[in-house]
Amino acid sequence: MTHNKFVEKFTSEEIEAVNKLKAKLPEILKTAFQLKEEEEEPELYTLWGISLDKDSTDEKLDVLLIKFLRARELDLDQASKMLSDSIAWRKEFKTDSILNEEFDDTIFGGVGYIHKNDKEDRPVCYNFYGELDQEAVFGDIQKFIRWRIQLMEKGVQLIDFTTVDTMVQVHDYKGVSMFGRTANSKQATKEIIKIMQDNYPEFLSTKFFVNVPWWGSKIFKLIRPLLPEATVKKFVVCSNDELIETLSQSIPIENLPIVYTQQGTKDAGSDIAIKSEHKTIDTTHTEEDITTKTVEHTTLTETTESTSRKAEKQPVGVTDNNNNNKEVD
């Protein structure tokens, strides 16, 4: 009998798929570490604190594996490849030690941070797209990418895969203008989207869009019919005059950053103390380009959760770090 509330909700098809994927873990690890077929089984690898052991009875492993399976519509071969490729990426990118790295809070503190939990005890990640100093934030693309992956890893560290298996993303567009993004910001966005799609499946519970400019709201209405219903259900667009009321339906008002509860700069008491004001991150001139760039803004944090399913990979659509084709994480 299961004691994990997420495993309890698995369908019979999902249970079968998880068991098959678990049995393939030695093969997946061999491929990820580029070991020859005749070599001994690789040492066990731990992903997000969970041992990838085919003989494990830890139900947290089942919750982890189902993320990769759902991101690939329960296709065993595709899910196996996704997991193997992700482990190989983590080794090459040195993701498992990224939490030990330090980044300049005066540059990145105003870009995003994790601050407390929602009413379901899920961690909440706040992402700010307006008034950014693009040269400072994106001047070194790889540094920005490593900072953003570290932020995602900090969020995953707060997920126990027993009572919590997803996180909340809040995307704040206050101060975003319609024109003028740097080449570096575009390249960084492109790379982050791919990393989140490929390596952080099914980590999004809800994504709030706040302080959205008039043109952003218009674009969302245009692209909404193109998005899968499961994705749309995860999106909440807050009107400016009901921002606190809407956020507090899911996040206790005492858990909201000070930027939303009183006048002042971003935050007091957040995961990263905010020490600077923002400069600008923008979109380009035509409505088609504005749509594309708005989509890129929403994906910088995918946060959550990674969007690895096919629907999120269409030219016009919204992707997220928490990856799937039917749902955006």
pLDDT along the chain (329 residues), means of 10: 91 98 96 81 92 97 98 97 98 98 96 97 95 92 98 98 97 81 89 94 94 79 79 85 92 95 47 34 31 38 37 34 42
* Two tokens, residue 161: 């895969």
pLDDT for 314:
33
pLDDT for 325:
40
pLDDT for 218:
78
Residue spans of the domains in the chain: they are 7-93, 104-313
Largest interatomic CA distance in the chain: 64
Of the candidates 50, 81, 54, the one whose C-alpha atom is nearest the C-alpha of residue 63 is: 50
B/e letters for 117-144, b = 16+ CB within 10 Å, e = fewer, are: bbeeebbbbbbbbbbbbbebbbeebebb
pLDDT for 23:
97
pLDDT for 91:
97
pLDDT for 282:
32
pLDDT for 180:
66
Fold of 104-313: Phosphatidylinositol Transfer Protein Sec14p (3.40.525)
pLDDT for 230:
75
